[in-house]
Amino acid sequence: MQLTSSLMWAYALSLPSFSFAYMIDCKLIRAGHESFDLTPIAGPHWVLKQDDSGIPDKMMSTNFTFNLCGPLSIHQDKKDKKKAGCKQNSWACAFKGVGDPESKEYEPTEEWSLAGNFVHGSGRPMDPSETPIEEKDDSEHVEGLQISMKGGVYQGTAQKMITRLYCDKDAPDEGSETLKERRADDKDGKDDDGGDDDTGGSLKSSDPKLKFKSYKSEKGTEKDSAASYQILRLDWTTKYACKDAREKGKASDGNSSWGFFTWFIIIAFMAVAAYLIFGSWLNYTRHGARGWDLLPHGDTIRDVPYILKDWGRRVVSTVQGGGGGGSGSRGGYSRVRLSNFTRFLTFR
């Protein structure tokens, strides 16, 4: 079986699968005292590392495919499911193969899971963690967040992926023309190598700001369950790792849509207008009314100013200790006016 282009093994798409364990919520990531929203960069991303295979005219390639916001959807033939190394519920996988760099045709040789939730399989949780990045020196101030996840095993060694996302307020948006053109060129083979790593291999990635740092064995920390890990380290520069990016996104959403009270006022106004129009039409067709008599409960509406005035007098009189009040110069006028409310439930 042969796969073409640098996306040869990235048959992983970001369709969610069910899981019970704690996962990363990209809509609201808490790192220290800061909150981040990484949903704009959700989905599968990849880094392709090419090395000399030791075989004439052949290149060894390793494709690291991951999704920071959900499990990968693995498309496999039924006959290959039992031996597939990139398992279901994987959030990051590695695909290795040997091929001709000029024709971009590769023969997959190995695949394995780097990180994922395998509690119901091997019993290994992903155990994700998010920590803030705050680095200062004489020349610049660096901020962002670090996301780590684990769960995979390869050749008896526990696997782990650590992605450091650095703030760049001028970075292009995910899906912008700049990124689309870069990815299209890379897919067509028009782009140069994305760079060289410290072993002399060449690098490419799905995002020009996504960089491969290393993939090597390291000692585990006190919090880790394993003594050592094979750790994939990636650096990613993005505007969504900035502290104020989430607030700007919320403000943008607020400006682009109306709030509840705005809609309430609009609906209430339209309801009152429809009631008045329908009531006026009904009074005109049934009773031939004209002028103020067209309005439903026209007498009551005309009496509202007087009713409010009398009510205000009663309140003032009560506050001033004048007793019941209301027996002023207008006498029993308010009783006559208030009696019009009995007609409120009928037109005319």
CA 190 to CA 183: how far, in whole Å?
Answer: 10
Read off the amino acid at residue 324: G
Give residue-wise pLDDT tens across range 103-156. Answer: 667 788 899 999 998 887 667 889 999 999 887 655 666 889 999 999 999 999
Give residue-wise pLDDT tens across range 174-193. Answer: 655 444 554 455 445 444 44
Helix/strand/coil for 130 = strand
Predicted confidence (pLDDT) at residue 235 exceeds the cutoff of 70: yes
Average confidence score pLDDT of the chain? 75
Predicted confidence (pLDDT) at residue 317 exceeds the cutoff of 50: yes
Residue 238 half-sphere exposure toward CB, CA atoms < 13 A: 28
Would you put residue 104 in left (φ > 0), alpha (ψ -120 to 50) or beta? Answer: left
Query: Strand 34-36 to strand 105-116: parallel, antiparallel, or no bridges (unpaired)?
Result: unpaired
Tell me the H-state helices in the chain.
177-187, 245-256, 260-287, 298-319, 333-338
* Average pLDDT score over residue span 217-223: 82
Statement: the pTM of the whole predicted model exceeds 0.75: no
Asked if residue 151 lies in contact with residue 116, where contact means CB atoms within 8 angstroms, the answer is yes
CA 205 to CA 195: how far, in whole Å?
Answer: 10
Residue whose C-alpha is closest to residue 41's, from 250, 239, 254, 255:
239
Between 105 and 235, name the one with better pLDDT.
235
Instruction: Tell me which DSSP letter residue 175 carries.
Output: T
CA 150 to CA 165: how far, in whole Å?
Answer: 17
Q: What percent of the chain has pLDDT over 90?
A: 28
